[in-house]
Amino acid sequence: MEISTLATYHCLAFVWYFFVAYSITHIKTEERPSEVFLYGGQWKYLTVLNLVLQAVFYGVSFLADVLRLIKKLRCAKRVISSRDLLFSVLAFPVSTFVCISFWTLYSYNRELVYPKSLDGVIPLWLNHAMHTAVLPFALLEILALPHRYPAKKNGLILLGFVAFLYISWVLWIYSVTGEWVYPLFALFSPSGLAAFFAGSLAVIVSFYNFGEFLNRMIWG
């Protein structure tokens, strides 16, 4: 794909994710259903954090494209390294995890992750923008250009560290409010919850490996 075409695509993707993140974070608090508590705001949800992650990634990607277009190749090389690290370790596995885990649980029992009362607050298009479109965007990015993956050990350590930070954030919120970010967590005993978190980490690691496999198969 031509650099100018890539720059246009990355710019549009950045604007899209910025718009979606802005839309979800500016829903009026007085409109929230009773099941949604205020502590932590929208920043307690992995879905919203992923929107910000994707916006940052596409912003960095657009910057790399612009630097290549204006022949600032030394600067572009450093930005491209950051872009590839963001995509391989976080943007692809997290967006894939958000999409697949959300719709799997939603199909089983939506009240565990997305209570029906939210339908009156979050439009259908915004729900799909947050939970569905993220996966096609990630797959399109793999098809659009190759990404250099870090050494497997380093990539998995970074991914595991970010997962640990989010789990710690979820547990902190529960310790302060006595409420779980997702109703699903209330179904588990402490040991069951630990097993669930470990299983979720294993799933997201598999998505990391899947992204690396696709990148290698398509680009060599």
Averaged pLDDT for residues 185-189 = 93
Q: What is the mean pLDDT of residues 112-124?
A: 88
pLDDT of residue 158: 96
pLDDT of residue 35: 56
The reported pLDDT for the residue numbered 12 is 97
Closest CA to 76 of 90, 59, 58, 63: 63
The residue ranges of every structural domain in the chain are: 3-22+41-219
Whether the pLDDT of residue 79 is over 90: the answer is: yes
What pLDDT does 118 receive? 86
- Residue, of 36 and 209, whose pLDDT is higher: 209
Which residues, in sequence order, are CB contacts of 61 under 8 Å at separation 6+? 6, 10, 13, 14, 83, 87
Separation of alpha carbons 41 and 218, rounded Å: 40
Picking from 110, 134, 204, 133, the residue whose alpha carbon sits closest to that of residue 162 is 204
Interatomic CA distance for residues 174 and 39, integer angstroms: 10
For residue 30, what pLDDT is reported? 55
Per-residue pLDDT averaged across 109-132, rounded?
Answer: 91
Average pLDDT for the chain = 92
Mean pLDDT of 41-67: 94
DSSP notation for 40-91: TGGGG-HHHHHHHHHHHHHHHHHHHHHHHHTT-HHHHHHHHHHHHHHIIIII
The rounded distance, in Å, linking the Cα atoms of 203 and 181 is: 20
Assign 76 a pLDDT band (cuts: 50, 70, 90): confident
Radius of gyration of the chain (CA): 18
CA 193 to each of CA 59, 112, 188, 206, 213: distance values in angstroms, whole numbers, following the listed order: 35, 14, 5, 20, 30
pLDDT category at 52 given cuts 50, 70, 90 is very high
**CA–centroid distance for 107 within its chain:** 20
Q: Are 146 and 219 in contact (CB under 8 A)?
A: yes
Residue in 24, 34, 144 with CA at minimum distance from that of residue 84: 144
- Distances, alpha carbon 195 to alpha carbons 3, 107, 144, 189, 191, in Å: 45, 22, 37, 10, 6
- For residue 31, is pLDDT > 80? no
Reply yes or no on whether the pLDDT at 83 is more than 90. yes
Lowest-pLDDT choice from 4-18, 21-35, 184-198: 21-35
**What is the structure's pLDDT at 3?**
86
Identity of the amino acid at 59:
G
At 135-145, the pLDDT tens digits run 999 999 999 99
Note the pTM of the prediction, 2 decimals: 0.93
pLDDT value for 34? 56
State which amino acid sits at residue 208.
Answer: Y
Who contacts 220 (Cβ-Cβ below 8 Å, separation ≥6)? none
pLDDT of residue 62: 96
pLDDT confidence tier of residue 77, bands split at 50, 70 and 90: very high
Mean local confidence (pLDDT), 102-120:
91
